[in-house]
Amino acid sequence: MLKIGLALMTFGILAGCASTPKGKPLLTNRALAWAAAQCNVKSLGVHFTRNSKVPYGDYLAPPAEVDKGPDERPSTQCMLGVLKGYRLDFLGQVERDPGIRSGR
């Protein structure tokens, strides 16, 4: 009887560790692309840092906003507003398209 009780208690503890907490879903490429379309910016994808299991997203800031500070850009406010229901580490604002090389 004691063995069964210990087995059930161990199973309950392990099941609790394996379950995911309820909350905001993690940011995905699909969600970032949808948000980028809503905010008229280009999604550059979702990535992970070495030390975090929570993703971050990059997007290309519009050329008209490059001279403004990151917190003054309308695209920043739009992206943060659209993605408020997702868990993310941070949003990266890329100022130059990484696919275009400079003419050196």
Q: pLDDT tens digits for 13-46?
A: 333 333 345 688 999 999 999 999 999 999 999 9
Q: Is 27 within 8 Å of 79 (Cβ atoms)? A: no
Mean pLDDT of 43-57: 91
- pLDDT averaged over every residue in the chain: 78
| Total of domains in the chain | 1
63 domain residue, yes or no: yes
pLDDT, residue 71, reads 81
17 domain residue, yes or no: no
pLDDT, residue 7, reads 43
* Cβ neighbours, 10 Å, residue 43: 20
39 domain residue, yes or no: yes
Range(s) of the domain holding residue 50: 29-94
pLDDT, residue 100, reads 63
Question: What span, in angstroms and rounded, lies between the C-alpha atoms of 39 and 49?
Answer: 25
Question: What span, in angstroms and rounded, lies between the C-alpha atoms of 59 and 88?
Answer: 14
Structure tokens at 14: 């392990």
13 domain residue, yes or no: no
pTM: 0.70
70 domain residue, yes or no: yes
